[in-house]
Amino acid sequence: MDSSREEENDKAMMARCVELSRIAVGKTEYPFGTVIARDGQILAEAINHTVRDGDVTRHAEVIALSQAQKAIGREQLRHYTLYTNIEPCAMCAYCIREAWIGRVVYALSSPVMGGFSKWNILRDDDMSGRMPQIFANVPVVVSGVLAAEAQQAWRDWNPLAWQMIKLRGLLTDPSPEPVRVRPAHSRSLWHYMQILFERTRQARAETQAPDAQENSHL
């Protein structure tokens, strides 16, 4: 895909994340919104459920990743981008690596909690180098897309809280222009072998036990 088309898609998908972050506020959640998409086509989208479920693990990214894996499986997710208005936290960044997401785009950086600017999870080559059967290569990371719009949604949610967040440097605009970080290495042979193995296993499971698959959640 040419870069101007990609840029257009990134802005459209991030606009949806910002919209979701506003929807989240209307549902008594904090303003977080996530979309997983390929070429501008949305596969999954979510807001946080931490307040309503009383569960700190119910972040928008994790919920969207669950939907996406159920819909198309992990293997295909390398072609997809996860968009989110705030840099994914360490927990979500770990799930992104293990779900083999190919690209991560966010608006605002999270220097105190982020899985990229605070911890090295989205950049950690050692994980995929030593355990390629579990972790994909580091995703492409783009930050700063629609940063002003994302900030405005947070300011509208609670102007005082937003001032405190700014003063403490909890969420920041990474730069005037979006920043792109590309992987230094290509996918390993191990990874392709793992994909082949998963495909064969899935095909065998579908042929042999279609009923068992349907009832696998029981």
- Can you give the binding site for Zn ion, defined by CB under 5 A? 59, 89, 91-92
Least CB distance to Zn ion at residue 90 (A): 8
Q: Which of residues 59 and 123 has its CB atom nearest to Zn ion in the complex? A: 59
* DSSP secondary structure of 168-181: TTSSB---SS-EEE
Residue with tokens 């030593």: 130
CB of 121 to Zn ion, least distance (A): 11
Q: Toward Zn ion, which CB reaches closer, 10 or 87?
A: 87
DSSP helix/strand/coil, 210? helix
Q: In the numeric block, which tokens belong to residue 145? A: 């897309």
Q: Which is nearer to Zn ion, 91 or 170 (CB)?
A: 91
CB of 29 to Zn ion, least distance (A): 13
Distance from C-alpha of 89 to C-alpha of 107, rounded to nearest angstrom:
13
Element (H or E) spanning 84, and its range? strand 81-86
CB of 113 to Zn ion, least distance (A): 8
Cβ-based nearer residue to Zn ion, 9 or 84: 84
* CA distance linking residue 136 with residue 127, whole number of Å: 8
